[in-house]
Amino acid sequence: MSSALLLSLDSLAAWRRALDRGIEQFGAMLNDNDLLDAQAQSLLARVRQQLASDRWVLAFVAEFSRGKSELINAMFFADTGRRLLPATPGRTTMCPVELAWDAQQTPSLALLPITSRASGQTLAELREQPALWVHMPLSLDDPEAMALTLQQVARAIHVTVDQARALGFWSDDQAEHNPPCDANGQVELPEWRHALINYPHPLLKRGLVVIDTPGLNAIGAEPELTLALLPSAHATVFLLAADTGVTRSDLSVWRDHLDGRVGERFVVLNKIDTLHDPLLDASQIEAQVAHQCTQVAQTLGLAPEQVFALSARQALTARILGNPASLTASRLPVLEQALLAQGLPQRGHAMGHSVENALLSLQQAALRRLSDRQRQTAEQLIELQALRGKSAARLKLMSARLDHEASDFERCAPRLSALRAVLMRQSQGLLDGLSSQRVRADLQRMQDHSDNSLFKLGAAKAFGAMGQQQQQRLRQAMIQLDEIEAMLQASLRSLNADFGFALRPGQRPVLDRYREELGLIENSYSRYVGLTQIWRLAQAGFMTRFSQILLSRLRVVFDAAAQDVEQWAKAVSTQIDDQLRERRRSLQQRREAHQRIRQAKDGLEHSIASLESQQAQQQALAQHLASEVDRLRLQAHASPAHASPAHDQASHRQWVPCSSTQPERDAA
């Protein structure tokens, strides 16, 4: 186990916890001062849930016999004193293996039978059905028994060709991709479709999720792995053999599943110990390793610093035996350092930007309510100060003005209700265009066009047409959003002028980034419907599974866009309600103050003193609000992978706080 990686994940987890506590206290402060509406409460809850459930996903990808399982053993299981995951020569990991820790579950191995592929359900759906999985407990105090249990991930079964075809492992049109038949005419398949290892490893407890993938044929045969698990990984480690470099099958894995992926990518040239030659000196062997790294980088189109030569077996042995010199010679610490120097900060920065944007939204909403209170208090104070030394006639004039303002207030209510109704109707029309049902219908048409084409040759065209439909859907939503915003600006301008409100449409949703996400999804998924994938498209049920997984990715984009629009519309509606409530409260306070002036000689001065106290409290609250947002933004903006008390203090000295009245909203 790498202590540096452990400390880095500790830092990330501690940063999330500290940020969550700060956000909780910030929310309590807003709530105590009546600055937290339902929309803000929902946003706070969502941000805290993201911080609590954040995970860092690290995927290991390679062809068979490249040493993935051995590298995972060296990085995560050396403290058990033995090799836990099967890592013998030849094909070991037969199914995708996911290592994580869920404190709500006991340490165990959960296995999904390969026959579940026949049901057509996605892995995400099957995760919610524990009865379909085979569960085996892990004996944490007995490494030998635990290793024996984990041997299950290497188990295989033998089925007929018809059964293999039904499960998607056999294609009559692309025989070169089919697994070999034995003497009995049967085909060897993985016994399990997916494995979940719930293990209380210190790194896994801190939010790390490790994915160990099988080789090329199994990767291609499981759409869930290539279309969902790998794209969701925040960092990917691609393993090659040092003695062979990039083979043809390695290049196929890279081009089909990793090239162009979002996220950090690390290429490992494993088994450098096999390059040892008694006829060569150390410098010559080192030159061979350096040459292999350069060749790999050129072949894969990467920078040389993204390629790491190491020996996973030597690293595992060194850690089990406690030999620091041998561990250094294995070069594994260099890879681990790169992971925590490049992979973890990126994850922390992404979460920090999300939190920072949420804080700015909360600040804007709170400042709108607070500034309206300040304006109302200032107006009342000016009125009462003007009454000092004035006659009863002036008091009567004030009473008449209050009655007039109350009448205006009652007249504006129907206009505000009508505006709310129009806003809700137009925003609902926009949301209907972003609904998951529309996306599902588009995907069904894509699947129908593909199925009806000869040999599935129309799959790529149907996919392209579907992608254009999604882009057009977002473009139409942006046009509708422009129309709604123009309507709001005109209506709010009129209301502000007629009745003295301070209504603003607020920061409109930015949908351009969702168009970019659609482009990334289309670029990533188009590789699975090209002419080179005809054999896979022809497999029974592949297009259905492809559509299901693609739907889950598109739903995330459209649901997020719809959520932004819905929150914006609700924020405007809430702002209207807030200002109505504030205006009603202000009128009531002014009536009460006016009544006190009539009832007591010192009522005027008492009311003025009370308002001056309120004004000072509101100014202090505005300053405190800006200070808290700046502090939390600094905390969210700091790199958690390198956080330390000294670093935090130094960063705080360099921080330039934003304006408390016009905060800039960073890009998501």
Question: Cα separation of 391 and 451, whole Å?
Answer: 89
Question: Cα separation of 105 and 194, whole Å?
Answer: 18
Q: Which of 8-17, 84-93, 424-433 has the lowest mean pLDDT?
A: 84-93
Q: What b-and-e string marks burial along 50-84, b requiring 16 or more CB atoms within 10 Å of the CB?
A: ebeebebbbbbbbbbbbbbbbbbbbbbbbebeebb
Residue 647: pLDDT band (50, 70, 90) is very low
How much is the pLDDT for 325? Answer: 93
Mean pLDDT across 419-444: 88
Residue 345: pLDDT band (50, 70, 90) is low
Beta sheet of 264-270, edge-to-edge order: 134-137, 108-113, 192-198, 97-100, 208-212, 56-61, 235-241, 264-270, 307-309
Mean pLDDT across 592-615: 72
Residue 588: pLDDT band (50, 70, 90) is confident
Residue 190 to residues 43, 57, 171, 217, Cα–Cα distance (Å): 44, 24, 17, 11
Nearest to 61 by CA among 291, 222, 274: 222
Q: Which of 29-43, 237-251, 494-508, 518-532 has the lowest mean pLDDT?
A: 518-532
Residue 461 pLDDT greater than 90, yes or no: no
How much is the pLDDT for 623? Answer: 87
For the segment 368-410, what is each residue's pLDDT rounded down to a tens digit? 888 888 888 888 888 777 766 555 556 667 777 777 777 777 7
Which two tokens mark 611? 């308002």
Residue 457 pLDDT greater than 60, yes or no: yes
Helix axes 436-452, 542-599, angle to 10 degrees: 170
Rounded percentage of the chain residues whose pLDDT exceeds 70: 83
* Helix spans in 274-331 (H): 282-300, 312-321, 324-330
Residue 651 pLDDT greater than 60, yes or no: no
How much is the pLDDT for 667? Answer: 33
Average pLDDT, whole number, for the chain?
Answer: 80
Mean pLDDT across 239-251: 87
Is the pTM for the entire model greater than 0.85? Answer: no
Q: How many CB atoms lie within 10 A of CB 200?
A: 13
Which two tokens mark 139? 């004996």
DSSP reduced 3-state for 33: coil
Question: Residues near 422 by Cβ (< 8 Å), separated by ≥ 6?
Answer: 487
Give 606-647 as a 3 state SS string.
HHHHHHHHHHHHHHHHHHHHHHHHHHHHHHHHCCHHHCCHHH
Secondary element (H or E) of residue 99: strand 97-100
Residue 265 to residues 9, 80, 235, 294, 523, Cα–Cα distance (Å): 19, 28, 6, 16, 18
How much is the pLDDT for 541? Answer: 66
Secondary element (H or E) of residue 108: strand 108-113
Nearest to 261 by CA among 216, 306, 231, 227: 231
Question: Cα separation of 77 and 79, whole Å?
Answer: 5
Q: Which of 57-66, 100-109, 158-167, 522-531 has the lowest mean pLDDT?
A: 522-531
Residue 312: pLDDT band (50, 70, 90) is very high
Residue 656: pLDDT band (50, 70, 90) is very low
Mean pLDDT across 565-591: 81
How much is the pLDDT for 3? Answer: 65
- Bridge partners (DSSP) listed for residue 195: 97, 111
Residue type, 368: R
Residue 42 pLDDT greater than 80, yes or no: yes
Secondary element (H or E) of residue 146: helix 143-150
Which two tokens mark 132? 């379909």
Residue 114 pLDDT greater than 60, yes or no: yes
Mean pLDDT across 593-614: 71
Residue 227 pLDDT greater than 60, yes or no: no
Residue 34 DSSP code: T
Which two tokens mark 54? 């954040």
How much is the pLDDT for 525? Answer: 75
Residue 455: pLDDT band (50, 70, 90) is low
Distance of alpha carbon 143 from the chain centroid: 35
Q: Which of 16-25, 447-456, 543-552 has the lowest mean pLDDT?
A: 447-456
Residue 540: pLDDT band (50, 70, 90) is low
Q: Which of 256-260, 360-364, 554-558 has the lowest mean pLDDT?
A: 256-260
How much is the pLDDT for 311? Answer: 93
Residue 653: pLDDT band (50, 70, 90) is very low
